[in-house]
Amino acid sequence: MSKILPLIALAFLLNGCEAKQQALGLRAAVLAKLQADPDLKDYKLDPEPIADCVVQAVSDGAPSIPGDPRRDTYFAAYTKFFNANTPGEADAIIKEYKDFFGSEKAANEAALAITDHIMSCMGQAIDERGE
């Protein structure tokens, strides 16, 4: 038994590192899109803190136990949702993750939450500037 516990701890640690990499992948995808966003340019907003805010908002809904293997899938889903360029792509991704989120409706709500996170984070950035 004493030999199994360190192996279990190592597995959780490795899963936690992988989830952190997934979150960094999500941040890179968000940042790339935000850097080209005309609204951010119009408001002269720095995309980096907004990307951090979006990733934090997504992370807040992630499975709560670090090392939980569902966290990897969660961040992979959000990264794919964010990178969808057409409604057809988005529908395919929603169908791909419907079982993970529990239903197609729940996966669709998760995908749509990204827009809410971006708008909320942009609003916070504007408020912080005092405009």
What confidence score (pLDDT) does residue 24 get?
82
Residues 73-114 have pLDDT tens digits of: 999 999 999 999 899 999 999 999 999 999 999 999 999 999
Secondary-structure percent of the chain, ordered helix, strand, coil, rounded to 5: 80, 0, 20
CA dist 34 and 125 (Å) reads 13
Q: Which residue's structure tokens are 């939450």? A: 113
Share of the chain above pLDDT 90, in %: 60
Instruction: Supply the pTM of this predicted model.
Output: 0.79
Q: Binning pLDDT at 50, 70 and 90, where does residue 8 land?
A: very low
Q: How many domains does the chain have?
A: 1
91 lies in which domain range?
A: 4-129
What average pLDDT does the segment 50-70 reach?
A: 89
